[in-house]
Amino acid sequence: MPELPEVEILRRHLQPLLAGRRVADVLVSRPRAVRPGTPEALASAMRGARFADVGRRGKFLLFALVTRGKARKVVGHLGMTGRMYLEPSDAPRAKHEAVSIALDDGHERLVFEDPRGFGRFTTDRSSVDALGPEPWDESLDAGGFAGALRGTRRAIKIVFLDQSVVAGIGNIYASEALFLAGIAPGRAANTVTANQAKRLLDAIRVVLEAAIASGSKATLDFASGSDGLFYHGSAGEGPKHDERFRVYDREGEPCPRCRSPIRRSVDGGRSSFWCAKCQA
């Protein structure tokens, strides 16, 4: 599932392609993708507007639009396997196309393709407004982060997944950051010390920055990648980013620190990968 780094990579790809472009028309093939709004409401909000910017908040894309001096935003979420890309308007429509945005004179379109159907392309901002701070926000310092963790007895991995303490971290990068910080995923958040919380916040930033840098340098084909996904970071040359994960999806493989076998456990219904010797 795409997390903050993958969405940031996509944002950087789409921003220069869309900035200044006018929306000629909107076609919604899957009405559930725009809920709680309607296809008609989305088309009314976008038709005739120009893209001013493409931003990001957590795992969400924020498409800033301007029409007759009025600004508004459309929220995009990739769900589990969604993709967004530009293609010629005469290209065959993708089997799982959810929303198509005709641009300018109609010769090109922005496509939101969503095979699993968990994504969104909507004017509703409620999910974005409920997010915690970004990992690099000045408001998220080590003291505040430690205080937020002290306020709950939930497993630290589950705290990450709900997006209220820090936005953008999902299953993959939670496992990676916890390993780097030496903290077990099932550990109660309120037992994390102030020093450990600082180490964990630093690890979160390191892991996310490395993932963004890896994907941004790769040659990515968002429209027709061979595996259907863009977020592994290598449609072209160089190793895949997933091959550089320290623990994620490496059950039974040797820990990169101590060579003990990586374990898999389940926290909140999601798989966690960790080293019982290096993480406590």
- Asked if residue 183 and residue 94 are part of one domain, the reply reads no
Q: Catalytic residues, which ones? A: 2-3, 59, 270
Phi, psi (degrees; rounded to nearest 5) at 192: -75, 125
Please give the torsion angle defined by the CA atoms of residues 155, 59, 6 and 183, in that order, rounded to the nearest 10 degrees.
-20
DSSP codes, 45-71 = HHTT-EEEEEEEETTEEEEEEEETTEE
The contacts of residue 137 (CB under 8 Å, 6+ apart) are none
Q: Count Cβ atoms below 10 Å from residue 206 Cβ, excluding itself.
A: 14
- Asked if residue 146 and residue 104 are part of one domain, the reply reads no
- Does 137 fall in a domain? no
- Does 94 fall in a domain? yes
pTM (predicted TM-score): 0.89
- Asked if residue 82 and residue 183 are part of one domain, the reply reads no
User: Taking Cα atoms as reference points, which of 81, 75, 59 lies closest to residue 126?
Assistant: 75
Q: Which of 127, 156, 181 is the last residue of a domain?
A: 127
- Asked if residue 117 and residue 14 are part of one domain, the reply reads yes
Q: Count Cβ atoms below 10 Å from residue 26 Cβ, excluding itself.
A: 22
- Asked if residue 163 and residue 62 are part of one domain, the reply reads no
User: Taking Cα atoms as reference points, which of 22, 45, 24, 23 lies closest to residue 34?
Assistant: 45
Q: Which of 95, 127, 159 is the last residue of a domain?
A: 127
- Asked if residue 162 and residue 122 are part of one domain, the reply reads no
Enumerate the H helices of 68-134 as residue ranges.
Answer: 126-129
- Asked if residue 242 and residue 171 are part of one domain, the reply reads yes
Whole-number Å distance between alpha carbons of 119 and 82: 6
Whole-number Å distance between alpha carbons of 195 and 205: 16
- Does 132 fall in a domain? no
Given this model, what pLDDT does residue 210 score? 93
69-81 CB burial, b ≥16 within 10 A, e <16: eeeebbbbbbbeb
CA 159, distance to chain mean position in Å, is 17
Domain of residue 21: give its range.
Answer: 4-127
User: Taking Cα atoms as reference points, which of 248, 241, 229 lies closest to residue 81?
Assistant: 229
- Asked if residue 79 and residue 30 are part of one domain, the reply reads yes
- Asked if residue 160 and residue 229 are part of one domain, the reply reads yes
User: Taking Cα atoms as reference points, which of 141, 159, 246 lies closest to residue 201?
Assistant: 141
- Does 136 fall in a domain? no
CATH code, domain carrying 206: 1.10.8.50
- Asked if residue 96 and residue 20 are part of one domain, the reply reads yes
Q: Count Cβ atoms below 10 Å from residue 140 Cβ, excluding itself.
A: 20
- Asked if residue 11 and residue 58 are part of one domain, the reply reads yes
CATH code, domain carrying 70: 3.20.190.10
Helix (H, G, I), strand (E, B) or coil at 17: helix
Q: Please tell me the total count of domains within the chain.
A: 2
Given this model, what pLDDT does residue 68 score? 87
Contact call for residues 23 and 63 (beta carbons, < 8 A): no
- Does 27 fall in a domain? yes
- Asked if residue 65 and residue 164 are part of one domain, the reply reads no
Q: Which of 127, 160, 192 is the last residue of a domain?
A: 127
- Does 279 fall in a domain? no
pLDDT tens, N- to C-terminus, the chain (280 residues): 789 999 999 999 999 999 999 999 999 999 999 999 999 999 999 999 999 999 999 999 999 999 988 999 999 999 998 999 999 999 999 999 999 999 998 899 999 999 999 999 999 999 999 999 999 999 999 999 999 999 999 999 999 999 999 999 999 999 999 999 999 999 999 999 999 999 999 999 999 999 998 875 543 444 334 333 444 333 344 445 555 799 999 999 999 999 999 999 998 889 999 999 999 9
Whole-number Å distance between alpha carbons of 159 and 148: 10
Whole-number Å distance between alpha carbons of 201 and 169: 12
